[in-house]
């Protein structure tokens, strides 16, 4: 999995809100996305190979809970 910052996606990226497929992790915080959780889908063009598709929490990443 590629870790992507929580800031705006790179120029040339296609982004929209959808539901992430089962088993996807947030590219920013690396936490799993729940089934039917709204997520931002980001497709990044690469110079070689197929585009890279990542998902992020749509309303920001959840804060970690100190235990």
Mean pLDDT of the residues in the chain: 80
Residue 22 neighbours by CB under 8 Å, 6+ apart = 35
C-alpha–C-alpha distance, residues 51 and 54, integer Å: 10
Q: Is the pLDDT of residue 53 over 50?
A: yes
pTM (predicted TM-score): 0.70
C-alpha–C-alpha distance, residues 54 and 27, integer Å: 6
Sign of the alpha-carbon dihedral angle for 5, 8, 11, 15: positive
Residue-level pLDDT at 67: 46
**Using one digit for the tens of pLDDT, what is the confidence trace for 5-35?**
445 555 556 788 999 999 999 999 999 999 8
CA 35, chain centre distance (Å): 14
C-alpha–C-alpha distance, residues 5 and 21, integer Å: 20
């Amino acid at each position: 999995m590629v870790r992507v910052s929580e800031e705006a996606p790179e120029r040339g990226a296609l982004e929209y809100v959808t539901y992430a497929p089962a088993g996807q992790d947030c590219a920013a915080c690396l936490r799993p996305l729940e089934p039917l959780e709204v997520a931002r889908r980001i497709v990044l063009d690469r110079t070689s190979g197929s585009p890279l598709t990542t998902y992020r929490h749509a309303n920001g990443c959840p804060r970690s809970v100190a235990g």
